[in-house]
Structure 1
Amino acid sequence: MANPTDQLTDEPARVLRRVFGYDTFRGNQREIIDHVVGGGDALVLMPTGGGKSLCYQIPALVRDGVAVVISPLIALMQDQVDALTTLGVRAGFLNSTQDLDERRRMESAFLAGEIDLLYLAPEALRSEYTLRLLDRGTIALFAIDEAHCVAQWGHDFRPDYLALSMLHERWPAVPRIALTATATTATRAEIATRLNLRDARHFVASFDRPNIQYRIVPKREPRRQLLELLRDEHPGDSGIVYCLSRASVEKTAEFLTQNGIAALPYHAGLDAGTRAANQQRFLRSDGLVMVATIAFGMGIDKPDVRFVAHLDLPKSVEGYYQETGRAGRDGLPSTAWLAYGLADVVQQRKMIDSSDGDLARRRVLAAHLDAMLALCETVQCRRVQLLAYFGQQGAACGNCDTCLDPPESWDGTVAAQKLLSTVLRLQRERNQKFGAGQSIDILLGRETEKVVAHRHDQLSVFGIGTELTEVQWRGVVRQLLAQGLLAVEGDYGTLVLTESSAEVLGRRRDVTMRRESTRPAPARPARSRAAGSAAPVAELSPAAAPVFERLRAWRAATAKEQGVPAYVIFHDATLRQIAAQSPTTLADLGGISGIGENKLARYGQQILDTLAS
């Protein structure tokens, strides 16, 4: 006779196979799920695409009652519910998009225990009406998604998250699981404190996303560089392009459209209807590029985003990691591409100096920027540097630009002394401050109108830097700024010396620099392996490739008919496996990863018919 405890222990595995169609858990999913099913609190750090959702969805189906999922993503709740419904999971939401009748029906379903998961926005828990509603139901657990939003100095702070500490006070017996894809040790401690999760067990998965190829290139003509990337490496692919300003978003989307790339803008300056419509088009279309500010992307479950490109420098490594992590959620090869230049550094430094808050806040922002600059300027493996920021060790990946085309380092001490001397002489001899362009013109001996007008051609440093090109000198300025040996100030980004500058000028400190590449970094296929698996994703055979395309066409038509994103039906990875194996029976089809009982019953015969056509 089976032990009842063993049966209970096996229930998560049965749900995983029956509902989600997977045979094994990934990483520490099973450990997290068992802990929450047993009533424990958990703080989970897991990369985007690593399977965070299962960590609360399976406990929701195993424990008695309804799981309440706190999410800041009202615009995506319908898609999240649709995806679960397609799996046969009873799910719903309460938010401001519903009319009174819809709300009442969902409230009744919650109270009757007729749903397994209920999605709420954090601001809903400020309503006494909502709190009393939850009091009247049976709550299985609270899942706090995007938990980094509680970190006040993080990259996506949401004030409403601060009130979520009351969950433990009002419902002390209900387990809570907070989840995020991005958090340093300090941010994790802040999340635990602000959500009153001090006694929660912490689960930290690997931050490595081996299918993503990280590349950072010198910024020259960024939109042209972006266009080359999309045409040469990602024709017809879905992707996200991040820009710092609304104006840049609009101009970039227009530029791509004019050059034959289907692109849409997304930023806070657009009306809510346009933003929602553009987001839905992106989720439901293949091969569409979304050009956006960082307001876009959190919670986006679209698995086939093949690239994330940044045309402006992110403010922090956490933000960069979160944004690039939206690529390749399906484990297939994807690109994280960043164009980075001197103007980015100057602009970010100016933004910090003029930001709201006290000195301590500005120091935190400066530390975030310094870490981002170190990632950009490293001559070592980018992935190693990125993982180290989150406290994880790793070996050289062989799949980032610095591994594929190792940059040279050089002794830039003399060049640094020349540049710093120019800034020093402008200030001491002429009581003047200028931006980088003027100092570079002086070093190159250019008799520009501005140089002559200010008699800068009379300075002893005039023309002493002709051994480097303008591009190389801009790299010197950028790297001095990154190393804290130079600073910018004022609205015009004028260069000024720092306390550390004297060490270089006094020959007490050497300066090593990354040599500016004169050729584009080679584009090579990214390694790819399904998350949690060491096996690489195989290329489709010539016979399987057209079958995969037929399956994609069937999926697109089915998704359009049902009004849901294509990935809600099946991920590309599942269709690839079907195409490769060509199952001929429902039983064979049911053995493929990602096909649970409900999807097999709903779509199985249609797939077999498509394969036979």
Structure 2
Amino acid sequence: MIENLLPLLKSTFGFNALRGVQDQVITRVMDRQNTLTVMPTGAGKSLCYQLPAIANEGTVVVISPLIALMHDQLRSAEAVGIRAATLTSADDNRAETIARLKAGELDLLYAAPERASGEHFRNLLEQTRISLFAIDEAHCVSEWGHDFRPDYRLLRPLLDHFSHVPRLALTATADAHTRDDILVQLGIEQDGLIIAGFDRPNIRYSISPRKGLTRQVADLVERIPGPGIIYATTRNATEKIADQIARTGRSARAYHAGLPPEIRQRNQADFVASEDMVMVATIAFGMGIDKPDVRFVAHAGLPKSIEAYYQETGRAGRDGDPAEAHMFWGAEDFAKARQRLTEVDEQRLSSERTRLAALGGLVEAAGCRRAILLKHFGEEPPKSCGNCDNCLNAPITRNVTELARKFLSAVYRTGQSFGVGHLEAVLTGKQEDKVLSRGHDRLSVFDIVDGEEAPLIKPVSRSLLLRDALRNTEHGGLMFGPEARAILKGEAEVAIVEPPKRERKKRRSGSSPNPVGDPLFDALRAKRMELAKEQGVPPYVIFHDSVLRDMTGFKPRSLSALAELPGIGAAKLEKYGDPFLTVIQQVTEAQEESV
């Protein structure tokens, strides 16, 4: 069966073979079996319904959570010659789309769950032939998923009404509990679960305590060329960080729910079309784009969960090229997260506490970050990945139990109401007015930490906050948390990763395999941008960077030679082949003449 689809795969998408578990998923779809597939971002989930859409009669209905995401997927589908349309509140051609659907002229129809779960939509589908329901971002159907959308819960009646139509659920982010819930909610049998794995080996994971965030972000942006996303926790922070980046000369925009819709749309469109812009955003941004060439994702604060972190960092390197994910965290992030737990209903409280503890384990780890992520999703990875900060530069761990006891004693002796700065002054014996006026220079904890231990006071305080041995007071001071007693009584030890000495990192030219500076590659990129602006589409819709690299390396001189390159199907060959061949010929001839 799959062998029969390979000519169609080549002519439409420009690929000679399927990869990973795509063949397993597509085989089930073609056999009209219900399936849930968990595949990492960039592994080709959309192909699992796009190829059957053009191979089978009828229309594939794709349920997708965001209008922007649907429109992005629509552009990519149309670029390879697939007959596709969206049916959303933002479309002014709804009558035309409905007419095309009824006439059987659509391979793909994208709709949001709010529309798909309605009676009017069901009646519309009864007037045409449906070959498959594809439920994208399927973790949204689960209350245990990090992006729960109640309207996804209403899809089951639609699916059961068309019980003869197979259903394919797709997600990149679902732990075991969430996977089981998706199967139940969408009526998919347990044997219909296909897991491709969660590893994104091209992403380098790094996590650092927040220490001068402005400088840390500036260093990151300076070091890594190409588009990037920085997630901030507040609207104000997004605008402040974007302004700081823009002052360095790098193009940067802010994105958050408080901006007027037209500004958000313009900023997102500019980012999608850019090859070097940094978007600073709240978590409202990201799911709505499928930009493959994002070179880094940074978190300026703690994500909501490991699932959210995995999905948000997964927006980097979708094209398979090297990318980085960096998190800057602070102990206050965990204090705020614990405060939010007081608002969680009792049924979810235990699972939310577990999620927060898992995040704590990730940021404090001295071992492989990737191994922790993959174990969270039920995998058994190697102990070392070779592509995270801890594997590349093994950190030094240090037992600081005695210093932790000294710090907790200082918290208690000063009345559990002062912040780290004051406690550090007391412990190191500083004769400051605030210390002297309160008589804290006469306490037994005054001047009991020597110069060697002093630099570890702040990391120790972060660790104690993270493990809930300390909590923030209403006015920003520190007081005991439930885990303090065990440490003071010698029943628990405290170890930290010793803070590295700060070194200014150089810009990493190897962050992308693109041969920037090669006259042919740069000329091909310029042609791509020119065509993209003419047609009002992002550059990657025309060709990915990998295709331009192949053109640069192989220098094809004919349409037939160009067609042999991966990622160039018949529609793109016809539309773009001649312009790119002209560039290759002109640049190559100029180089030959100059020799």
Pairwise same-fold verdict (TM > 0.5): yes
Q: Which letter maps to 1:550?
A: A
Which of 170, 189, 208 aligns to 2:180? It is: 189
Residue correspondences, number? 585
Q: In structure 1, the residue corresponding to 2:350 is in which secondary structure?
A: helix
Residue 540 of structure 1 and its aligned partner are, at CA, apart by 4.2
Instruction: Kindly state the Cα deviation for residue 609 of structure 1 after the two structures are TM-superposed.
Output: 0.8
The SS at the match of 2:37 is strand
> Are 1:381 and 1:402, in contact at CA under 8 Å, matched by a contact in 2?
yes
Between 246-255 and 510-519, the greater mean CA deviation after superposition: 510-519
- Structure 2 residue 90 is matched with structure 1 residue 91: no
Distance 2:479 2:73 in 1: 51
* Contact 1:266–1:293, Cα closer than 8 Å, also in 2: yes
- CA offsets 1:14-67 (integer angstroms, 9 cap, x no match): 222111111111111100111111111111111111111111111222222100
Which residue number corresponds to residue 610 of structure 1?
A: 583
CA distance in 1, matches of 2:8, 2:463: 53
Helix, strand or coil: the match of 1:576?
helix
C-alpha separation between the residues in 2 aligned to 1:523 and 1:412? 32
Query: Mapping of 1:83-122 within 5 angstroms?
Result: 83-99=76-92, 102-122=93-113
* Aligned-pair CA distance for 1:494: 4.3
Gaps of 5+ in 1: 1-7, 529-536
**CA spacing shift, 1:399–1:518, aligned 2, 3 Å:** same
Aligned residue for 2:208, secondary structure, equals strand
* CA displacement at 1:406 relative to structure 2: 0.9
**1:66 touches 1:113 (CA, 8 Å); kept in 2?**
yes
How is 1:42-191 mapped onto 2 (pairs within 5 angstroms)?
42-99=35-92, 102-191=93-182
User: Which whole-Å CA distance do the structure 2 matches of 1:242 and 1:316 have between them?
Assistant: 14
Residues 81 and 202 from structure 1, CA distance in 2 versus in 1: closer, same or farther, beyond 3 angstroms?
same
Deviation at 1:299, TM superposition (A): 4.0
Tell me the CA shift for residue 493 of structure 1: 4.9
Matched, 1:242 2:231: yes
Q: Structure 2 counterpart of 1:234, which letter?
A: I
Q: How far apart in 1 are the matches of 2:559 and 2:102?
A: 37
Equivalent position SS for 2:146? coil
Equivalent residue, structure 2, for 1:330? 319
Question: Structure 1 residues 277, 454: CA separation in 2 closer, same or farther (over 3 Å shift)?
Answer: same
TM-score (normalised: structure 1) = 0.91
The one-letter code matched in structure 1 to 2:31 is G
Distance 1:538-1:323 versus aligned 2 partners, 3 A rule: closer
Ranges in structure 2 where 5+ consecutive residues have no aligned partner: 587-595
SS of corresponding position for 2:133 = strand
Query: Displacement of 1:12 after TM fit?
Result: 2.8
Shift of 1:11: 3.1
Structure 2 equivalent of residue 555 of structure 1: 528
The one-letter amino acid of 2:487's match is: V
Residues of 2 paired with 1:95 and 1:343: CA distance? 41
* Aligned-pair CA distance for 1:158: 1.7
After superposition, the CA RMSD in angstroms is 2.2
Quote how far apart the aligned CAs of 1:365 are. 2.6
Give the 3-state SS of the residue equivalent to 2:155 in structure 1: helix
Q: Secondary structure of the residue that 1:136 maps to in structure 2?
A: coil
> For residues 358 and 489 of structure 1, what CA distance do their matches in structure 2 show?
23
1:507 and 2:480 are equivalent in the alignment: no
Given the alignment, which residue of 429, 439, 459 partners 1:445? 429
**In the alignment, structure 1 residue 411 sits paired with structure 2 residue 399:** yes
Counterparts of 2:375 and 2:505 in 1: how far apart (Å)?
25
Aligned equivalents of 1:444 and 1:57: distance in 2? 65
Q: Structure 1 residues 15 and 452, CA, compared in 2 at 3 Å: closer, same or farther?
A: farther
Per-residue deviation, 1:424: 3.4
Once the two structures are superposed, what CA deviation does each residue of 1:266-299 show, in whole Å capped at 9, x if it has no partner?
0000111111111111111221111100110014
Structure 1 residue 200 displacement after superposition: 5.8
Residue aligned with 2:375, SS: helix
Q: For the structure 1 residues 186 and 24, does the alpha-carbon distance in structure 2 shift closer, same or farther, using more than 3 Å as the test?
A: same
Instruction: Give secondary structure in 2 for the equivalent of 1:305.
Output: coil
Write the deviation string for residues 165-191 of structure 1: whole angstroms up to 9, x where unpaired. Answer: 223321111111111111111121222
1:89 alignment partner, SS class: coil
TM superposition shift of 1:446: 3.1
- The separation in 1 between residues aligned to 2:445 and 2:550, in whole angstroms, is 65
Q: 1:390 aligns with which of 377, 401, 405?
A: 377
Which one of the candidate residues 421, 431, 445 is aligned to 1:461? 445
Q: Determine the C-alpha separation between the residues in 1 that align with 2:504 and 2:364.
A: 15
Distance 1:459 1:12 in 2: 79
Name the structure 1 match of 2:552.
579
CA distance in 2 between counterparts of 1:126 and 1:392 reads 34
For 1:344, the equivalent position in structure 2 comes to 333
Quick check: 1:598 aligned with 2:589? Answer: no
Equivalent in the alignment of 2:34: 41
Aligned partners of 1:217 and 1:521 also within 8 Å = no
Give the CA deviation at 1:527: 8.8
